[in-house]
Amino acid sequence: MKKILGILGLLIFICVATAIMSDRFLTEFNIENLIRRTALFGIISIGAAFVIITGGIDLSIGSVVCLIGCLLPHLLIEYEMSVVMTLLTVAVISLLIGLVHGLLITKMKLQPFIVTLCGLLIYRGFTRGFVQDQTQGFKGGFEGLRELSQGQMPLPGTEFGIPNPCLILLAVAFVAAIFLNFTVYGRYLMALGRNEDAARYSGINTDRMIILAYVICGLLSGLGGMLFVLDVGSAQPVDFGNFYELYAIAAAVLGGCSLRGGEGTIIGVVIGAAVMQVLKNSITLIDAIPTNIEFAVIGFVILGGVITDELIKRLHAKRLANARLKNVG
């Protein structure tokens, strides 16, 4: 809870500071755009969180977003597949990607870093070859399908609406939180991240749980890729989804997920995704900050947040140790 309050405090501080320095921050257009972007990145960040909780990492998220984002319009336009069949196809591909990652890590005993780094290269390279580096789009069609990402639910009595991706994020976050906190499999994932050997000796099928985590990450990356391309309307295989895995991992870590595994909350990850997007938006709106140092600013903020979290954790552990010594004495 302390971690969640800490990252929430950081989010509020950035919002207030940006609102003071830019009169464009609180405009209806900007707020709706922020909510939409936070939701899109929040979905892939939840996927990254499941993997990180097990003590793993997935560097291929951005390339999976690119693969699915390019395949979706390509299959609809070039192959004239039905919407239902196309959605099923990209969902199966996303699932298989996560399954292959999990099998290579558990059965071949390969390092998650290597497996997903290779995936990062393979999926983008395959996408560029498959579509011949051509930009993929919907050519003005499939407006009903695009409403999944571009549409919104209007609030009664106001002109403001909640973007559909936000509703999808809420559904995903709710299911993920229930799974992680109130099911035996969620407890297995946490135990696996804290100590894999101890989890295995206690009877948990650790291989199966690792595979499950990567399958979830693959599916949510695919869902993210679909919603991203439906939102912008086109995808260029050269750079679509670039660095998205870093935003997802950063959001998860800022939200309380430990890269050592065994820690993390879904609400924290969603707030972490919001921090990333608000910070990026702030750099764009505040004229005093050059946009070409965007990644440097974001990097320093993330580093500062992680260092602060680690210092607080050490201080808390020291206080607990001192309290135990006093009780023994």
pLDDT band of 115, cuts 50, 70, 90: very high
Quick one: pLDDT at residue 221?
98
Q: Which of 298, 256, 302 is nearest to 281 (CA)?
A: 298
Average pLDDT, the chain: 92
pLDDT band at 329 (very low <50, low <70, confident <90, very high): low
Q: How confident is the model at residue 113 (pLDDT cuts 50, 70, 90)?
A: very high
User: Do residues 269 and 46 lie in contact, with contact meaning Cβ atoms separated by under 8 Å?
Assistant: yes
Looking at residue 17, its pLDDT comes to 93
Closest CA to 30 of 8, 46, 15, 11: 15
Q: Read off the pLDDT of residues 41-57 as tens digits, 9 standing for 90 and up.
A: 999 999 999 999 999 99
Please compute the mean of the pLDDT values over residues 168-190 and round it to a whole number. Answer: 96
Q: pLDDT tens digits for 275-290?
A: 999 989 998 898 777 7
Q: What is the pLDDT of residues 211-263, one digit of tens each?
A: 999 999 999 999 999 999 999 999 999 999 999 999 999 999 888 888 888 88
Cα dist from 109 to 57, 117, 127, 150, 212, whole Å = 14, 15, 27, 42, 16
Residue 181: pLDDT above 70?
yes
Is 1.10.3470 the CATH number for 27-151+166-285? yes
